[in-house]
């Protein structure tokens, strides 16, 4: 039976007890409205830990002023039973007041320079400050040995890894594979914003990522590949934030860079902003 905890003291007592018993603690932070991608992270954490905590907290500080904080889908009942089915032991439900005890304006901020500033950082200024600020708090609250993040948020994973190294959190970061719908669309809580006309078109993102990889493998230049991808998405009705080929550390690859890379897309269909990536 999953245990729901809403008080920090109770969470600390539960985790302390596990640690006294020599058990390893895994953690999966989420914003709720959970789907198979989240549950795969719980199962991944379970492979590296004896007990798993998952948090559901729609974090106001990582949403921009015109983003979907208030309409972000909240489905607490379904989340709880899904987490239980995936093998989660504790559901941690902090409140905005307990997460930011001095209020958001006076909150101590965590900013990770460099990798936070590119791609998503250019289009969602302050987003990763909000993510790092809340994840560092969640790490201090839960005190896990391992924590799992999805590769769909490729840049978020890179930012979190840098934060964990830089701030010396004694936590191993696990990366979970992207879970996709049958037509290739990466699972996301925001997919449900898509209407019946937009939903099939959204799968064009995955096809375009493959096209980018094929283009790079065929020897086309990075700028040529990025421009063709943006054009293809625009023709399918997307407003494109970026279609980019980057090194694995998200730096810009040189012309004869033979190392591993990643193709990344962020694009909007109507009001819905979708992101996805493919490593190659």
Query: Which pair of structure tokens corresponds to residue 226?
Result: 């990025």
Binding residues for ligand PAF (CB under 6 A) = 29-31, 59, 62, 131, 134-135, 153, 156
Q: State which residue, 33 or 208, has the beta carbon closest to ligand PAF.
A: 33
Q: State which residue, 57 or 242, has the beta carbon closest to ligand PAF.
A: 57
Q: State which residue, 27 or 238, has the beta carbon closest to ligand PAF.
A: 27
Run of H or E residues at 267:
strand 261-269
CB of 187 to ligand PAF, least distance (A): 12
CB of 140 to ligand PAF, least distance (A): 14
The catalytic site residues sit at 38
Q: State which residue, 157 or 233, has the beta carbon closest to ligand PAF.
A: 157
Say which residue the tokens 């905890």 belong to: 5
Residues 94 and 87: beta-carbon distance below 8 Å: no
69-96 in b/e form (b: 16+ CB < 10 A) is eeebeeeeeebbebbeebbbbbbbbbee
CB of 183 to ligand PAF, least distance (A): 23
Residues 234 and 205: beta-carbon distance below 8 Å: no
CB of 35 to ligand PAF, least distance (A): 11
Residues with Cβ < 8 Å from 75, sequence gap 6 or more? 32, 33, 34
């Amino acid at each position: 039976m999953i245990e729901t905890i809403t008080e920090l003291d109770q969470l600390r007592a539960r985790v302390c007890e596990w640690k006294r018993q020599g058990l390893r603690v895994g953690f999966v932070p989420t914003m709720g409205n959970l789907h198979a991608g989240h549950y795969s992270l719980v199962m991944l954490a379970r492979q590296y830990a004896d007990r798993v905590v998952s948090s559901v907290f729609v974090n106001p500080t990582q949403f921009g002023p015109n983003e979907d904080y208030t309409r972000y889908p909240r489905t607490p009942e379904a989340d709880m039973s899904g987490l239980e089915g995936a093998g989660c032991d504790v559901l941690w439900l902090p409140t905005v007041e307990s997460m930011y005890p001095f209020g958001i304006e006076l909150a101590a901020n965590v900013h990770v320079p460099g990798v936070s500033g590119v791609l998503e950082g250019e289009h969602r200024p302050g987003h990763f400050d909000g993510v790092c600020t809340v994840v560092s708090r969640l790490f201090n609250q839960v005190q896990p040995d391992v924590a799992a993040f999805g590769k769909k948020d490729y840049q978020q994973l890179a930012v979190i890894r840098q934060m964990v190294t830089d701030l010396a959190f004694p936590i191993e970061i696990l990366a979970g594979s992207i879970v996709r719908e049958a037509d290739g669309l990466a699972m996301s809580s925001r997919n449900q914003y898509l209407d019946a006309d937009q939903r099939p078109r959204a799968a064009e993102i995955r096809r375009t990522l493959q096209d980018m990889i094929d283009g790079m493998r065929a020897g086309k230049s990075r700028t040529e590949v990025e421009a063709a991808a943006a054009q293809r998405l625009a023709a399918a009705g997307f407003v494109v934030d970026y279609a980019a080929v980057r090194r694995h550390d998200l730096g810009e690859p040189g012309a004869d860079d033979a190392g591993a890379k990643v193709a990344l897309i962020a694009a909007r269909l109507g009001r819905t902003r979708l992101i996805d990536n493919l490593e190659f």
